Structure 1
Amino acid sequence: MTALEKGSVVAVVGSGAMGSGIAQVAASAGHRVLLFDTRIDAAAKAIDAIGKVYDRLLEKGRMTAADAAAAKGRLHVAASLADMRDAAIVVEAIVENLQAKRTLFADLETIVADDCILATNTSSISVTAIAAELRRPQQVVGMHFFNPVPLMALVEVISGLATDPAVADAVYATAATWGKNPVHAKSTPGFIVNRVARPFYGEALRLLSEQAADAATLDAVMREAGAFRMGPFELMDLIGYDVNFSVTQSVHQAYFGDPRFAPSVLQQEMVNAGFFGRKSGRGFYQYGDDHAKPAPQTETPQPRPETLSVSIDPGTVNVVTNQMEQRFADAGFTVAHRKPLPGAAEHEAPAFHCNGAAVFLTDGRSATERAAANKHPDTVLFDLAFDYAGAGRIALARADQCGEAAWLSVVGLFQAAGFAVTRIDDVPGMVVMRTVAMLANEAADAVNQGVCSAAAVDIAMQKGVNYPRGPLAWTDAIGVAQVVTVLTNLAASYGEDRYRVSPLLRRKLAGAPAGALFHA
């Protein structure tokens, strides 16, 4: 099937934020839109509000007067479901309740034509379950938009077990003509985004619980080093802890208690306290004119070290360390190359050295553990960054054995290279690296289990939640060996199945250990 033709009827049930947004996008794309809501005058008020949006777009020069008038003219209130008899597609955006959706579609089946597509905007309910009791389950498909619908590009096209592939293809093509970035996915708990994004929140909550740093500092590291648009606590405050915790519980239960999705006791306490985030005036941050946002922890300025060297193992290629070496060179350091540390454990190069300190990229172990393994007390670790050339902040962690003079030398080294330096407590995997490795692991498992393609998961995470890079593209960028090593060491440190390595990552590592593996 191809995309719905312009002028065909798109019916939308539910005129809340999602339903109104879907109606606006469909009308802008040239469809006659019927908007229905059981609440008196709700659909009419929604259409009036959409008209005002078109007026603002006109004022900003983003729509012509003719286009705005035409789009307004395509919006109509449906007095009842019976008005939808000629619809080519009906998109429901009602309450997240399985029985309510089943009942609605059962009623619609008696009204619309046999080839009418019945699309659900559900974010969490199984499309297979919604369709199971219908006479034409093959016509049911997920069409999951993201809020705000007119601005967010992603649409997850979800196929249940009974969904006709031609129906899913038609919805995919239609979403594309509406200016969206659609991706195909299989109906599994959380679909793509709500599943793969769980570690972004879960690891942050763990890091806070383990006192790695405060929320403001962890957010700053994720923004200014990881290049995420918002830090995890800022984003959870925006979403609301009642909502975020509920989704986490739902995914955890749907996967029969898989520890990878285990909810956080800390987040449960936030919900218990009524600290829901911005909506309640307090989350991990407090909101209001009398509450300033806390500043992240930043080390005080230290002297620039005089010398810098790097130990190189000829058999080891580390893209990240090479990028960091370039930044040091750009800062005016002459980086002398030397042999690896005497007696160092296997694969411990490359490492930077200044004033007796050994500085490594985190590999999922704590600095203290790594110092003991290398018999080198003055060990400091640095975290992953999205772009070492442009990152404004870097997180460092020192071994418990590390002397103060060695630590301050390393701080001065990174400050001389233009970084704001944040010290975090010595937790395994640090902040950005740990989070990215877990996101990559979940993305790889989704691909391995046939939920979606590698391209789809990266598009979904960039367009649905504004990640700076897709998790599997990030794996390609830093190397699958680095991701597998980090996860393996996290699993050893915590002794939990939560950090088990996806079979697909192990397969990629064994089959092609170098180069771009997911997006070659």
Structure 2
Amino acid sequence: MSANVTVRGSDDVTASEPAAAVEAAEAAAEGAPGPVGRDRTVAVVGTGTMGQGIAQVALVAGHPVRLYDSAPGRAEEAVAALTARLDRLVEKGRLDATAREAAVGRLHAARELDELADAALVVEAIVELLPVKQQLFADLEKVVGDDTVLATNTSSLSVTAIAGGLRLPGRFVGLHFFNPAPLLPLVEVVSGFATDRDVATRAYETVKGWGKTPVRCADTPGFIVNRVARPFYAEALRVFEEGAADPATIDAALRECGGFRMGPFELTDLIGQDVNEAVTRSVWDSFHQDPKFTPSLAQRRLVESGRLGRKTGHGWFSYAQDAERPEPHTAAPAEAPKRIVVRGDLGPAEPLVELFEAAGITVRRKKSDGGYIELPGGGELTLADGEASFEYHREEIVYFDLALDYARASRIVLSTKEGISPETLVEAVGLFQALGKQVSVIGDVPGMIVARTVAMLADLAADAVDRGVASAEDVDTAMRLGVNYPAGPLEWAGKVGFRRTSALLGELHERYPSGRYAPSIGLVRRGYAEDAEDAG
């Protein structure tokens, strides 16, 4: 292999041998366990898409790699498939021919499990069945040395349970790669109840040396990403089930206002409704039916109907060749008001004031205990706070949703009660259209779409941190890199304000008193700390 190999694109792997050597030397000097040496064999058990992807990452990083599969001939097929992948990288100019030849020379198929005896690291990527995995590792313990690190790529099973019957459970760790493994940078390094700290550190340093971004995580249902991400799907489904908006509009709100790369309905169609629902149900069951993780009945019906998404040609949307993609609800053009009054501080929506002024709208500021925008006709525009318009019988209240960045958002979502005066709604719509935004008007749903989603993501993130699952930094990193969130949940809540985020959930809890929206004590504590800091 050449001294420095950088591979980018659809098979993205970055490896720098000198950098890895420096890191290993520094770790050794500090007395910390270093990564598995590049001259040591990495074995991968299971040759499906994930197994091949992990093998490619280790191979391009410079390790000898052995592939094993219990099905006869599968390992040889995987070697051929990986060789073809390397050939494509050479054709695209992402890997030089010399490095390709060296990598192919280090890649071997194993017909028997005992051919993995000299491996320094064995990564398992087989079927997600606990007894099958337990038996595999029991067999591996009879073959490999006591210093071999054993790792599982499980995404849904307990790392602790898989290692439970091992003679040396301390050398067992979770290495949860994301698919496709060569492309996605995140790896969750999961410590089971018995995992030795040095083993977890060695695994962490190894995948870091492979060009990945590892995060440390305790063994908890869903680890970091699949635990914290549940509200992204669940709140969208809840808004849909309440009849407040259709899937296309909800997706557009989270993409074009919230800054997420994909909406939850299109994303679950891509993942597979059966897969996404199974993960949700698994996490819910693992947390003893905690209402914060309650699955959606609407999604269950979709799965029962066989509409699983792209793979079946129909999910929330149709993927037939002649099918028209539903468009989000978008309000007709409306005349913008020439002047508005901003009362109090708009909080995270304060950047709107400068945008209104830049659009030629006269803005007057007046002091007020609450922050809202007063329209010329007397109506009020208020940032989503967990309440609903129908609660204000005489007032003309229109809520607008939270945006990641109001300047860059291309869509603003409004929510209001039935029977609001047409004049108020026209002024509200026209005001945001004057900024060049498309406007969607949805039903009167507390917390709207983006605001309640971000609040719930932050709540689960804070709870995970406070329960010792991972650090705040690792949680935010995992959510940005693992599921492409535009910001880490705690980072985003910090910008919105932990007090405001907690208060929104408190209002939702009053209106849906099931426990689902009760803010975690950690989120509430952060709100009080924020108040104390502001006062100081």
Range into which the TM-score falls when normalised by the shorter chain: over 0.9
Find the partner of 1:336 among 345, 361, 364.
364
| 2:171 is aligned with 1:139 | yes
Q: Does the CA contact (< 8 Å) of 2:151 and 2:175 recur in 1?
A: yes
| 2:530 is aligned with 1:512 | yes
**Aligned runs of 1:384-423 on 2, under 5 Å?**
384-423=402-441
CA shift, 1:481, in A, is: 1.4
| 2:301 is aligned with 1:273 | no
Q: Deviations over 1:76-123 (max 9, x none)?
A: 101111011110010000000111111010101011010100000000
Aligned residue for 2:386? 364
Aligned residue for 2:205? 173
Find the partner of 2:124 among 92, 102, 118.
92
Q: Deviations over 1:478-513 (max 9, x none)?
A: 111111111001101111201111111111111222
Tell me the SS of whatever aligns to 2:354. Answer: helix
> 2:99, 2:179 → 1: CA distance?
24
Aligned residue for 1:282? 314
Letter in 1 for 2:234: G
CA shift, 1:353, in A, is: 2.8
Aligned residue for 2:146? 114
| 2:499 is aligned with 1:481 | yes
Tell me the SS of whatever aligns to 1:512. Answer: helix
Bigger shift: 326-335 or 100-109?
326-335
**Aligned runs of 1:181-196 on 2, under 5 Å?**
181-196=213-228
> 1:515, 1:179 → 2: CA distance?
38
Q: Deviations over 1:259-306 (max 9, x none)?
A: 111111111101110111111111000112111211110000001211
CA shift, 1:352, in A, is: 4.1
Tell me the SS of whatever aligns to 1:283. Answer: coil
Tell me the SS of whatever aligns to 1:423. Answer: strand
Aligned residue for 2:12? none
Tell me the SS of whatever aligns to 2:222. Answer: coil
Q: Deviations over 1:182-214 (max 9, x none)?
A: 001110111111110111111111111111111
Bigger shift: 15-24 or 317-326?
317-326
Find the partner of 1:492 among 510, 514, 517.
510
Tell me the SS of whatever aligns to 1:299. Answer: coil
Q: Does the CA contact (< 8 Å) of 1:307 and 1:355 recur in 2?
A: no
Q: Deviations over 1:5-48 (max 9, x none)?
A: 11210000000011000000000100000000112221222222
Tell me the SS of whatever aligns to 1:499. Answer: coil
Tell me the SS of whatever aligns to 1:40. Answer: coil
Q: Does the CA contact (< 8 Å) of 2:337 and 2:375 recur in 1?
A: no
Find the partner of 2:349 among 312, 321, 330.
321
Letter in 2 for 1:379: I
Q: Does the CA contact (< 8 Å) of 2:134 and 2:165 recur in 1?
A: yes
CA shift, 1:249, in A, is: 1.0
**Aligned runs of 1:254-273 on 2, under 5 Å?**
254-273=286-305
TM-score by length of 2: 0.92
> 1:381, 1:99 → 2: CA distance?
52
> 1:226, 1:19 → 2: CA distance?
34
Find the partner of 2:70 among 38, 42, 45.
38
- Alignment length (residue pairs): 502
Tell me the SS of whatever aligns to 1:511. Answer: helix
Tell me the SS of whatever aligns to 1:2. Answer: coil
Question: Structure 2: 5+ residue runs without aligned partners?
Answer: 1-32
Aligned residue for 1:343? none
Find the partner of 1:470 among 468, 485, 488.
488
| 2:161 is aligned with 1:129 | yes
Find the partner of 1:351 among 362, 370, 373.
373
Find the partner of 2:235 among 203, 210, 219.
203
Tell me the SS of whatever aligns to 2:104. Answer: helix
Q: Does the CA contact (< 8 Å) of 1:203 and 1:435 recur in 2?
A: yes
Bigger shift: 186-195 or 347-356?
347-356
Letter in 1 for 2:409: A
Q: Does the CA contact (< 8 Å) of 1:458 and 1:469 recur in 2?
A: yes
> 2:520, 2:313 → 1: CA distance?
39
> 1:112, 1:504 → 2: CA distance?
43
| 2:475 is aligned with 1:457 | yes
Q: Does the CA contact (< 8 Å) of 1:305 and 1:355 recur in 2?
A: no
Q: Does the CA contact (< 8 Å) of 2:475 and 2:488 recur in 1?
A: yes
Aligned residue for 1:57? 89
Letter in 2 for 1:479: G
| 2:340 is aligned with 1:308 | yes
CA shift, 1:170, in A, is: 0.6
Letter in 2 for 1:455: E
Tell me the SS of whatever aligns to 1:354. Answer: coil
Letter in 2 for 1:415: Q
Tell me the SS of whatever aligns to 1:105. Answer: helix
CA shift, 1:309, in A, is: 1.5
Q: Does the CA contact (< 8 Å) of 2:244 and 2:445 recur in 1?
A: yes
Tell me the SS of whatever aligns to 2:341. Answer: strand
Question: Structure 1: 5+ residue runs without aligned partners?
Answer: 341-346
Aligned residues with identical type, % of pairs: 50
CA shift, 1:514, in A, is: 7.4
Aligned residue for 2:27? none
| 2:229 is aligned with 1:229 | no
Q: Does the CA contact (< 8 Å) of 1:480 and 1:513 recur in 2?
A: no
